[in-house]
Structure 1
Amino acid sequence: MTRIELAEEMLVDAALCLANQRYRSAISRSYYACYHAARWCLEQIGINITSRDVHGACLRLFSLHFIRNGLLPDWMGELLNRLRRMRIAADYRLQLPNEEAGAICGAK
């Protein structure tokens, strides 16, 4: 399986979770779908992340190589960062803040 195929599979999983009101899982799968798509984009230009902070490095490098130079719109970088924060909240907080709870539809 390629990284982009994994991203596509996770996006389907996110939709299934959302349809079944599994909101925390929908957020997580949405984030990982975007994360793996971003890593795939970086790999296409020869960047393989070896940092211990793989997620942070991925977001920084994706922004540097695809957002800041105008290849992709700003909202894509903002969405990836927002989904990361939401995923952490969904995985570790007992109560979701209103921002995360209200943004579930945005993840869809």
Structure 2
Amino acid sequence: MKGEEITRELEVAEEELSSAQILYEHGKYRDAISRAYYSMFHSARALLLIKGITPKKHSGTLSMLGMSYIKEGLLDEYYGKAFTKAFQMRSQADYNVMYTPSREEAEEILDLALEFLEKAQELVSGWIRGEER
């Protein structure tokens, strides 16, 4: 069950990133940022599930990723900063009607989300190989 849930989180992360890319291509930068963040969120949830951690809030996901992966040296601080930036920009995009994200801002978050997803897939793949032994 745990492996299935982890796999599903990554599938959803891929779907969210795909949606973000479509929105970006159509100039919907606000929604593209939001979807890109959710790709990162589901990638992070997959990683936390490996350790049996299931935070109830987005902020909990962010802080637990920092404690369980970054401080442990399992994930570079770069990814924590990327996730934090996406979290902050998603909040602006979703809740601040005066915020008008630029194409460049949206592109940056999409790039970060892709990197984050690829790293999560790499770590999950390593965990799955370890579980099969």
Please give the alpha-carbon distance, in whole angstroms, between the structure 2 residues aligned to 1:80 and 1:107. Answer: 9
Q: Indicate which of 43, 59, 63 corresponds to 2:49.
A: 43
1:19 aligns to what?
25
Q: TM (normalized to structure 1)?
A: 0.86
- Runs (4+) of structure 1 moved beyond 4 Å? none
Determine if the alignment matches structure 1 residue 66 to structure 2 residue 72: no
Larger radius of gyration: 2
Report the CA distance between 1:88 and its aligned residue.
Answer: 1.0
| Unaligned segments of structure 2, at least 5 residues | 111-133
Distance, in Å, in 1 between the alignment partners of 2:65 and 2:36 is: 17
Tell me the TM-score normalised to structure 2 length: 0.71
Aligned to 2:109: 107
Q: CA RMSD in A?
A: 1.6
Is there any run of 5+ residues in structure 1 with no aligned partner, and where?
A: none
Corresponding residue pairs, total: 103
Greater shift, 37-46 or 66-75, is seen at 66-75
For residues 14-51 of structure 1, the C-alpha deviation after alignment (integer angstroms, 9 at most, x for no partner) is: 111111110011000000000011011000111122x4
Q: Secondary structure at the match of 1:103?
A: helix
Instruction: State, as a whole percentage, how many aligned pairs show the same letter.
Output: 31
Residue type at the aligned position of 1:5 = E
Q: Distance in 2 between matches of 1:24 and 1:37?
A: 20
Task: Report the AA paired with residue 96 of structure 2.
Answer: R
